[in-house]
Amino acid sequence: MNYPKGFNNFSQKVKSGEISCCALAEFYLSNIEKNKHLNAFLEVYADEAIQQAKKLDKKIENCEKTGRLAGMFVGLKDNICYKNHHVSASSKILEGFESLYSATVVERLLAEDAIIIGRLNCDEFAMGASNENSAYGAVLNYFDNTKVSGGSSGGAAVAVQANLCTASLGSDTGGSVRQPAAFTGNFGIKPTYGRISRYGLLSYASSFDQIGPITSTIEDMALLLEIISGNDEFDATCTQKPVEKYSEINKIDRKLKIAYLDNYINSNGVQPEVKEKTYQIIENLKNKGHKVEAANFELLDYLVPCYYVLTTAEASSNLSRYSGLLYGYRSKNSIDLESTFKKSRSEGFGDEVKRRIMSGTFVLSSDYYDAYYSKAQKVRRVIQNRTKELFADYDYILNPTTPTTAFEIGGKTNDPIAMYLADIFTVQAPLAGNPALSIPCGVDNNGMPIGIQVMTDLFNEKHLINFAKYLCEEIIK
Amino acid sequence: MNSKYEVVIGLEIHAQLLTKSKAFSGDRAEYGNHPNTNVSVVSLAHPGTLPRHNKNAVEKAIKIGLAFNCQIERYNKYSRKNYFYADLPKGYQITQFDTPICKGGFVKIKLKNGTSKKIRLTRAHMEEDTGKSIHDIEPQNSLIDYNRAGTPLIEIVTEPDIRTGEEAFQFLTEVRKILRYLDVCDGNMEEGSLRCDCNISVRPIGSSEFGTKVEVKNMNSMSNVKRAIEFETERQITAIEKGEKIAAETRSFDALKNLTFSLRSKEMVNDYRYFPEPDLPPLIVSDEMIKQIAKQMPQLPEQLYEKFLNNYNLGSYDASVLTETKEIAAFFESICKTCSNYKAAANWTMVHIKGYLNENALEFDDFKLSPEKISNLINLIDEGKISNSAAQKVFAELINHPNDTSEIIAQRLNLIQTSDTTELEKLIETALNKYPQKINEYKSGKTGLLGLFMGEVMKLSGGKADPKIASKLIKDKLEK
């Protein structure tokens, strides 16, 4: 039996008993088995999934009330904690580590009867854009196994792409949900900073990190976002603003003001099909009577440097807890406290993580703090202010999510700077705190997916979802 | 001490705030629990955990700021101080760097010569404590107790205003007294809930530049702070006299040998890479919050001292003894609610009650008798119903029978003074008959013998005779 993608396409049939959770569980588990070569899952909770499915089926049979996610099988990026399950951030330093608690988002999924089906490969500590920095190897793009999945939430994107689970949760610091979503033809969101609790998300850069779903439909995105958002006493950076009903998607009934950043789209290295697709969407929007204008974001060149100074600084401190002392990997070659720290970290972390810890330590060191960290903080404020100004004038900003479609595995691994520059279109949203959604909008000449990114004002997720649905149904053809 | 030199001392005091939970998590913050039981995923820095604000710790920090005359910071940022050590699970300490919650302020200390001196404070900021490394239980291993990790601290930093070990001692005494009055810290230096580091340098008198600063740690009592400063002063002066250079270093105090020894040089300073804590948004302290806290402030020792001098007409010695702790002051004031003999209330509190508590190693909180009982006792004396010496017997008995009244006990012990003159006159007759010779001596001018007769009368009455009446009657009889 084959089940369609998109929870919204079959959830009613689960509630009515027409589709059993057990059948769904078997379907996903066999897909996972068939697609092991993709390397999307680090661990599959097969037995638990079947047990949970049986329980749910019994509930449905007995006409008991079930949660809104009954029948949804969710994969978790391997940096989100699930009580009594391993979590490793795809790093050797946390090999074998079991979390003693569940992330707030996981609690909320479980409360609505979602079934957690496994944990998903990612770049080590979410640092990367191709999933090649995982201690457990790259994730292959389902559409072309020689291409990357994108990253850092590569496993989360490919698992949904290949229908190995209904949806997944990733985390986005500089594009880690949106970029792999774009590379795999999925929806992926970086919500407003503070919209979703980070409690239970292994921190990479605290003032940037947000958990975001990866889904195959906009309806699933809306539903998951609605369920996992909201205030949490365990995360002081989480907002108390009430959560709107994202899942009740409204029609667009007015003419919108939309900007596209011309210097983004025309910057070097943007693939022709990506550019073409973007301009086509712009044209279609204009034809519908919306006001679509080119705006200039003159800070483009500062985005990536500012992002890397600040995120590496925070990461260098956030990752200090992985020291071989209380949990995780401890070097067998250590003889005292200092060598426990040094050797455990040297042996436990991968190259990219070490590179970022060292960069971050450097930019925070007393001799360079003013020149780098402090300056980058000021630049971030300028970016925030400029972004705010844009949203005083426009409802949405449209851009390609990525300059290119998924690239070759191994294509950029020797050039970290080229890899960093691939983040160019995705880092503005986390630098400014704004929400941004990547929407699949077609394929390039090789059949690889292209994503269009819509960014909007802070906490405007409700309208963002409405607009995304409109784009999917009436604009993207 | 060599009079050519001046000692310059600044103190850094770490006080654990008495909150139920830790600074940035819901873990219990208690002393003396079984090792590693007051911990959670948050205080052990498990992956994915985040800190959160403890409003109670902030309120206590503000109280301290108000008591020490500081300016209260409205926009409180937290920062991370990054370093690796076994007792620091996160690999960084959450502290305040550029926005300490208290700025400026001062503490007034009383010097031995009767004058007072203001010690200025630089700042006081909030931070979290570390765990505790224990090196002396297992020979090969260090053990770590994380119960303390995350306990809220306030670090109080003084300006270099202190000049002697005695001043440091007085300053610490005053700070501890105020912290205890505020009920924000139990001030136990032995247990480490109050810790003090000293920065000491010496310079020739008249010099405007400071000498090289030496930091001294590990003094677990106030008298050790004094001793360490005194030793360190002598050591530095002797070295300078010999033409040696003082090394910038951290030293530790050895209380048994009464000396300081070098721990580490300060030449290689740690780069702590302070930066704003991204997991905690800045905490905004509103005027309203400060107003609310100001309303809850207890009377402080200095205010009470003035009040005791002016409202109760006590002398300065009595007033300072009675303001040593909040509890003794409160007890004294409670007695005064129902007793207008303030001097007697002061004496009873300072001498008899405190003496009893000291002998039995008790605190005022443990004292079973209510202030009203003491006030009744004093009133019995003042009404002439019992003598002072009888009152002490009543007091001792009262402690064993706290539910009885003083009067009932005095009756039971047969201590109610006799003012019945016919009864007394009989006793006086008997007493005088014992000493016919002395009566003649008295009459020829040795009036000091009155004491002898009084003693005899008191003895015969079993202490119950009202001394005033008895002495009058004896005089009348002898001078007839």
Burial of B21-56, coded b for 16+ CB within 10 Å and e otherwise, reads bbbbbebbbeeeeeeeebbbbbbbbbbbbbbbebeb
Judging contacts by C-beta atoms under 8 Å, the chain A residues touching residue B47 are 81, 87, 89, 94, 97, 99, 202, 321-322
Q: According to the 3-state scheme, what is the secondary structure of B119-170?
A: EEEEEEEEEECCCEEECCCCCCCCEEEHHHCCCEEEEEEECCCECCHHHHHH
Check CB contact of B90 with chain A, cutoff 8 Å.
yes
pLDDT at A59 over 90: yes
Yes or no, beta carbons of A237 and B281 under 8 Å apart = yes
Residues in B closer than 8 angstroms to A320, CB to CB, are 82, 84, 90-92
Cα A174 from Cα A311, distance rounded (Å): 9
Q: Smallest Cα–Cα separation from B229: which of B206, B186, B196?
A: B196
d(CA A282, CA B434): 128
Cβ-defined contact of B50 to A80 (cutoff 8 Å): no
pLDDT digits (tens, 9 = 90+) for A433-469: 999 999 999 999 999 999 999 999 999 999 999 999 9
Distances (CA, A) of A93 to A317, A354, B55, B240, B361: 16, 12, 35, 52, 54
Euclidean distance between CA atoms B195 and B172, whole angstroms: 10
Q: Which of B183, B180, B57, B171 is nearest to B118 (CA)?
A: B171
Name the residue in chain B with its Cα closest to that of A202: B48
CA atoms within 13 A on the CB side of B316: 3
Measured in angstroms, the CA of A211 and the nearest CA of chain B are apart by: 12
Q: How far is B86 from chain A (nearest CA, A)?
A: 7
Q: Do B279 and A237 touch (CB under 8 A)?
A: yes
Neighbours of A59 (CB within 10 A): 16
Cβ within 8 Å, pair B82-A320:
yes
Task: Note whether A94 contacts B: Cβ–Cβ < 8 A.
Answer: yes
Tell me if B278 and A207 make a contact (CB, 8 A cut-off). Answer: yes
Amino acid (1-letter code) at residue A171: S
d(C-alpha A166, C-alpha A25), whole Å = 10
Cβ of A234 within 8 Å of Cβ of B142? The answer is no
* Best to test chain A binding among B90, B146, B279, B283 (most A CBs inside 10 Å): B279
* Cα end-to-end span (Å), chain A: 30
Cβ distance of A365 and B273 shorter than 8 Å = yes
Q: Are B86 and A202 a contacting pair at CB < 8 A?
A: no
Cα separation values, B387 from A62, B335, B355, B466, B470, Å: 88, 19, 20, 7, 12
- Could you identify the residue written with the tokens 């929407």? A439
Smallest Cβ distance to A199: which of B48, B86, B273?
B48
**Quick check: A235 contacting B, CB < 8 Å?**
yes
Q: Which residues contact B8 (CB under 8 A, 6 or more apart)?
A: B160, B162, B163, B200, B201, B202, B203, B210, B211
Helix axes B388-400, B371-382, angle to 10 degrees: 150
Asked if B84 has any chain A CB less than 8 Å from its own CB, the reply is: yes
Catalytic member of A77, A343, A462, A469: A77
Give A232's contacts (C-beta < 8 A, 6+ positions apart): A104, A197, A199, A238
Within 8 A of A200 by CB-CB distance, chain B residues are 48-49
What is the predicted pLDDT for the residue at B269? 75
Taking the Cβ of residue A101 and every Cβ of chain B, the question of whether any pair is shorter than 8 Å is answered with: yes
What is the residue range of A17's domain?
A: 7-228
- The percent of residues above 70 in pLDDT, for chain A, comes to 100
pLDDT number for residue A66:
96
Residues from chain B that touch A236, judged by Cβ atoms under 8 A, are 50-53, 279-281
- Given an 8 Å threshold on Cβ–Cβ distance, is A321 in contact with B89? yes
A window 321-350, beta carbon within 8 A of B: 321-323, 325-327, 337, 341
Pairing between strand A167-172 and A210-215?
antiparallel
Nearest CA in chain B to A360: B273
Angstrom distance (rounded) from CA A152 to CA A179: 8
Contacts of residue B92 in chain A, CB cutoff 8 Å? 317, 320
Query: A202 near A79, Cβ under 8 Å?
Result: yes
Please give the sequence-ordered ranges of beta strands (E in DSSP) within B218-347, or none if there are none.
249-254, 259-265, 275-276, 283-284
B52 in contact with chain A, both atoms CB, cutoff 8 A: yes
The CA distance from A280 to the nearest CA of chain B, in Å, is 40
**Residues A454/A467, Cβ–Cβ less than 8 Å:** yes
A473: amino acid identity, one letter: E
Closest residue, chain B, to A94 (C-alpha): B47
Give the tens place of pLDDT for each residue, A26-51.
Answer: 999 999 999 999 999 999 999 999 99
Report CB contact under 8 Å: B91, A323. yes
Strands in A239-278 per DSSP E = 257-261
Report how far Cα A176 is from the mean position of its chain's Cα atoms: 5
B133 chain-A contacts, CB cut-off 8 A? none
Strand runs labelled E in A329-448: 396-400, 436-443
Q: For residue A250, count other CB atoms closer than 10 A to its CB.
A: 13
Query: In chain A, what residues touch B84 (CB-CB under 8 Å)?
Result: 320, 323, 341
A–B interface: beta-carbon pairs under 8 A:
99
Q: Please, what is the Cα angle at A158 between A154 and A160, to 5 degrees?
A: 125
B51 in A contact zone (CB under 8 Å): yes
- Hey, is A423 helix, strand or coil? coil
Tell me the per-residue pLDDT of A181-208, one tens digit each, with 9 for 90 and over: 999 999 999 999 999 999 999 999 999 9
CB of A418 closer than 8 Å to CB of A132: no
Say whether A247 is catalytic: no
CB count in 10 Å sphere of residue B126:
26
The distance of Cα B255 from the centroid of its chain, to the nearest Å, equals 22
Shortest CA gap B179–chain A (Å) = 29
Cβ B279–A103 below 8 Å, yes or no?
A: no
> How distant, in Å, are the alpha carbons of A81, A92, A249, B52, B142 from that of A330?
21, 10, 50, 29, 16
Kindly state whether residue A141 falls inside one of the protein's structural domains: yes
Supply the pLDDT for residue B420. 67
Query: Testing the interface with B: which of A88, A318, A365 to mutate, by most B Cβ within 10 A?
Result: A318
Residue A183's CATH number: 3.90.1300.10
Indicate whether this complex's ipTM tops 0.85.
yes
Q: CA torsion A233→A239→A243→A244, rounded to 10°?
A: 170
Quick check: A164 and A31 in contact, CB under 8 A?
A: yes
Query: What pLDDT is recorded for position B419?
Result: 64
Distance CA B424, CA B419 (A): 7
Running DSSP on this structure, what letter comes out for residue A421? H
Chain-chain contact of A326 with B278 (C-beta, under 8 angstroms): no
This prediction's pTM: 0.90
- Closest partner residue to B44 (CB to CB) among A103, A326, A361 is A326
Q: List chain B residues with pLDDT less than 70.
A: 1-2, 418-420, 480
A320 close to B (CB below 8 A): yes
Q: What is the pLDDT of residue A417?
A: 77
Q: Which two tokens stand for residue A48?
A: 């638990």
Instruction: Please tell me the number of Cα atoms within 13 Å of B36 on its side-chain side.
Output: 10
Q: Is the peptide bond before B387 cis (omega within 30 degrees of 0)?
A: no
B50 in contact with chain A, both atoms CB, cutoff 8 A? yes
Helix, strand, coil distribution of chain A in percent, nearest 5 = 40, 15, 45
B421-478: what fold? Arc Repressor Mutant, subunit A (1.10.10)
A375 catalytic, yes or no? no
| Per-residue confidence band for A60, with pLDDT thresholds at 50, 70 and 90 | very high
Chain A residues touching residue B51 (CB < 8 angstroms): 236
| Cα–Cα distance measured from residue A160 to residue A168, given in angstroms and rounded to the nearest whole number | 7
Chain A hits for B49, Cβ within 8 Å:
199-200
Phi-psi region of B85 (alpha: psi -120 to 50; beta: other; left: phi over 0): beta
Q: Show me where the domains of chain B are located.
A: 5-289, 299-412, 421-478
A248 contacts A386 by C-beta, under 8 angstroms: no
Residue, of B267 and A216, whose pLDDT is higher: A216
Q: What's the confidence (pLDDT) of residue B418?
A: 66
**B186 CA: distance to closest CA in chain A (Å):** 29
Is the model more confident about A401 or about B31?
A401
Catalytic residue among A11, A91, A152, A197: A152
- A 124-143 residues with CB < 8 A to B: none
Q: Does A373 touch chain B (CB under 8 A)?
A: yes
Q: Which residues of B293-316 are buried (b: 16+ CB within 10 A; e: fewer)?
A: beeeeebbbbebbebbeeebebee
Strands A187-190 and A436-443, by their bridges, are antiparallel
- Scanning A229-299, the segments in alpha helix (DSSP H) are 262-265, 272-287
Q: Supply the DSSP string of A1-43, one letter for each residue.
A: ----S-GGGTHHHHHHTSS-HHHHHHHHHHHHHHTGGG--EEE
Q: Does B135 touch chain A (CB under 8 A)?
A: no
Q: How many domains does chain A have?
A: 1
CA torsion angle for B17, B19, B23, B26 (degrees, to 10)? 160
| Tokens, residue B106 | 């001062």
Q: Is A344 known to be catalytic?
A: no
R_g (Cα) of chain A, nearest Å: 21
Q: How far apart are CA A156 and CA A75, in angstroms?
A: 7
- Alpha-helical segments (H) within B213-255: 222-241
Answer whether A97 touches B (CB < 8 Å).
Answer: yes
Q: Tell me the Cα Rg of chain B.
A: 30
Residue A321 with chain B: CB contacts under 8 Å: 45, 47, 89-91
Q: Which of A321, A337, A361 sits opposite B86 (nearest CB)?
A: A337
d(C-alpha A156, C-alpha B185), whole Å: 50
A198 touches chain B (CB under 8 A): yes
pLDDT (tens digit, 9 = 90+) per residue, B5-39? 999 999 999 999 999 999 999 999 888 899 999 99
| Residue B169, φ and ψ in degrees, nearest 5 | -60, -45
As a whole number, mean pLDDT of residues A354-376 equals 97
- Alpha carbons within 13 angstroms on the beta-carbon side of residue B269 total 7
Contact indicator for B61, B124 with CB cutoff of 8 Å: yes
